Amino acid sequence: MKTKLILVLSFITSLSLAHEGVELGPNGGRILEFSKNETMHGEVTVKGDKFHIAVLDKDMKAVAMDKQTLTATTGDRSAPQKLAVEKDAKGFLVPLVKAGEWLILQFKNASGEKAITARLEYNTAICEECKNAEWLCKCKPAAEKK
């Protein structure tokens, strides 16, 4: 029993100390995949009290907003909370979630298509190495540094 407890605690500690090492987009935001073949991306930035999700093509260029749709949820899996999503000429606006919560996005490029799900943990802790919030950490994971 003690061995299992030690293993679980070690695993949790390693997760809390790990860097995100995420892909950043042309506007300094976090890139999420909105397609299975990397032809459509979402770049998540924070403006005021909202996430702005710009829709980008495979070359990281802005996509004209037309028939794309996005749904956003947060909260506990047993009681998810649907978030209001606004659409503008550059993408989508979604209210900020609390620090440490997950933002679950379901993107459709056109009606009738299957939704692509992307997840983002809004980890606002500051990385000691790059001084960015962990959800925007530029550092490579320890495994890639060696």
pLDDT band at 7 (very low <50, low <70, confident <90, very high): very low
- pLDDT digits 0-9 by tens, 40-97: 999 999 999 999 999 999 999 999 999 999 999 999 888 899 999 999 998 999 999 9
For residues 4 and 12, is the Cβ–Cβ distance under 8 A?
no
Task: Tell me what pLDDT residue 71 has.
Answer: 97
Cα–Cα distance measured from residue 48 to residue 111, given in angstroms and rounded to the nearest whole number: 30
pLDDT over 70 (residue 3)? no
pLDDT band at 141 (very low <50, low <70, confident <90, very high): low
Task: Tell me what pLDDT residue 113 has.
Answer: 87
DSSP 135: G
Whose structure tokens read 């993107």? 107
Interstrand relation of 40-47 and 30-33 (parallel, antiparallel or unpaired): antiparallel
For residues 63 and 55, is the Cβ–Cβ distance under 8 A?
yes
- pLDDT digits 0-9 by tens, 91-132: 999 999 999 999 999 999 987 889 999 999 999 999 999 999
Task: Tell me what pLDDT residue 94 has.
Answer: 98
Task: Tell me what pLDDT residue 1 has.
Answer: 54
Task: Tell me what pLDDT residue 15 has.
Answer: 41
How many Cα atoms sit within 13 Å of 105 on the Cβ side?
32
- Size of the chain, expressed as the number of residues it contains: 146
Cα–Cα distance measured from residue 74 to residue 117, given in angstroms and rounded to the nearest whole number: 13
Question: Domains in the chain, ordered, with CATH?
Answer: 23-145 (2.60.40)
Give the residue with greater pLDDT, 17 vs 47: 47
Residue type at position 85: V
How many Cα atoms sit within 13 Å of 6 on the Cβ side?
3
pLDDT band at 21 (very low <50, low <70, confident <90, very high): low
Phi, psi of 16, deg, nearest 5: -70, -25
DSSP 105: E
